[in-house]
């Protein structure tokens, strides 16, 4: 079972109204992006982390492991903002390199910190939704919002295929490692190329098999999935409204 599916199906927030979770995640994400406030981002990180770990039941170690995934990309993307090469030293730090300085400004450090915290807060919003809501429920919300059916079906199929192919690639890589397929760079490159070609061939075969299976089950251009209605609770609606207003207030300070 895909780990994200396993987490959302066993989440303590699994049976909370899907529209509530969707609206909460999207509004919070929007406020984070617009405000670009470190205070707002920290509040969002704490609240969504508490909901995902404390209420949802996701282990803290696993949640932190998922949160560290975007950190690599964030540090690489913010390096250009934090560090400059200039003839004149800036006010934050300056390392002499001949006639140049490897330097940075306090404004650049603040801008980089805002970018990192905003991105992490946005990721935490998406993790909250992903770890508490199955993909079929999310697509049902998009259907209610009148998103074109073709886009919804493509999202469902692509979601399934991405993780199936990742699982296949991982299995092939483990098999190669057990046969010393990475003992040196030359063999590692050859193993990687063989793995990519095998994954491509398997993806084409599985795509054809999936379409044949859908045709055998009277596929008429629409994938129909059973959905369960879960009434919204006034206490949850009040919490969402109060929290979003609090974020707006914090962003204006």
- Both 3 and 122 in a single domain? yes
Say if residues 240 and 17 touch (Cβ distance below 8 Å): no
What does the pLDDT read at residue 23?
92
Do 165 and 242 share a domain, yes or no?
no
Task: In whole angstroms, give the CA distance from residue 104 to residue 106.
Answer: 7
Please state the separation of Cα 173 from the chain's center in Å: 24
| 3-state DSSP assignment of residue 100 | strand
For residues 236 and 17, give the distance between their C-alpha atoms in angstroms, rounded to a whole number. Answer: 9
Domain match, 143 and 200 both: yes
My answer on whether 27 and 101 are in the same domain is yes
CA distances (Å), origin 76, targets 80, 82, 102, 105, 107: 8, 10, 16, 18, 18
Beta-strand (E) ranges in 106-211? Answer: none
Nearest CA among 54, 74, 179, 175 for reference residue 123: 74
- Grouping H, G, I as helix, E, B as strand and the rest as coil, residue 69 is helix
Note whether 9 and 58 are same-domain residues: yes
Residue 1 has a pLDDT of 52
Whether residues 32 and 92 share a domain: the answer is yes
Average pLDDT over residues 183-205: 84
What SS3 class is residue 102?
strand
Please check whether residues 151 and 168 belong to one and the same domain. Answer: yes
Domain check: are 213 and 249 in the same one? no
Percent of the chain, pLDDT > 90?
A: 19
Query: 8 phi and psi, to 5 degrees?
Result: -75, -35
Q: What whole-number distance in Å separates Cα of residue 86 and Cα of residue 101?
A: 5
Q: Are residues 32 and 120 in the same domain?
A: yes
Say yes or no: 27 and 122 in one domain. yes
Q: Are 172 and 198 spatial neighbours (Cβ–Cβ below 8 Å)?
A: yes
- Phi/psi for 87 (5° steps) reads -75, -30
* pLDDT tens column, 164-186: 788 788 888 888 888 877 778 88
* Residue 98 in tokens: 């001949």
What range defines the domain where residue 1 resides?
1-133+229-253
Query: What is the number of domains present in the chain?
Result: 2
Res. 187 pLDDT band, cuts 50 70 90 = confident
Q: What is the pLDDT of residues 144-164, one digit of tens each?
A: 888 888 888 888 888 878 877
The three-state secondary structure class of 5 is: helix
Q: Are residues 45 and 88 in the same domain?
A: yes
Distance CA 55, CA 12 (A): 6
> 156 with 142: CB under 8 angstroms?
no
pTM for this one?
A: 0.80
193/166 same-domain check: yes
Identify the three-state secondary structure at position 15: coil
pLDDT of residue 15: 87
Which residues are bridge partners to 160 per DSSP?
Answer: none
The closest of 141, 153, 131 to 230, measured between CA atoms, is 141
């Amino acid at each position: 079972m895909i780990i994200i599916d396993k987490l959302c199906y066993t989440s303590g927030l699994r049976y909370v109204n899907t529209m509530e979770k969707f609206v909460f995640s999207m509004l919070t994400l929007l406020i984070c992006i617009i405000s670009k406030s470190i205070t707002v981002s920290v509040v969002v990180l704490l609240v969504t982390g508490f909901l995902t770990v404390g209420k949802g039941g996701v282990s803290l170690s696993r949640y932190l492991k998922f949160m560290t995934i975007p950190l690599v990309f964030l540090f690489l993307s913010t390096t250009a903002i934090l560090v400059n090469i200039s003839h004149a030293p800036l006010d934050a730090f300056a390392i002499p390199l001949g006639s140049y300085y490897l330097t940075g400004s306090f404004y650049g450090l603040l801008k980089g910190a805002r970018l990192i915290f905003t991105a992490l807060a946005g990721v935490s919003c998406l993790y909250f939704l992903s770890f508490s809501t199955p993909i079929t429920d999310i697509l049902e919300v998009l259907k209610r919002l009148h998103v074109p059916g073709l886009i919804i079906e493509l999202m469902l199929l692509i979601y399934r295929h991405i993780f199936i192919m990742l699982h296949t690639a991982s299995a092939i890589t483990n098999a190669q490692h057990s046969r010393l397929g990475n003992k040196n760079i030359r063999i590692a490159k050859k193993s990687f190329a063989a793995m990519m070609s095998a994954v491509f061939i398997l993806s084409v075969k599985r795509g054809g098999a999936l379409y044949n299976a859908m045709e055998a089950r009277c596929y008429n251009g629409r994938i129909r999935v059973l959905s369960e209605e879960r009434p919204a609770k006034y206490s949850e609606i009040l919490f969402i409204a109060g929290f979003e207003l609090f974020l707006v207030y914090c962003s204006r300070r």
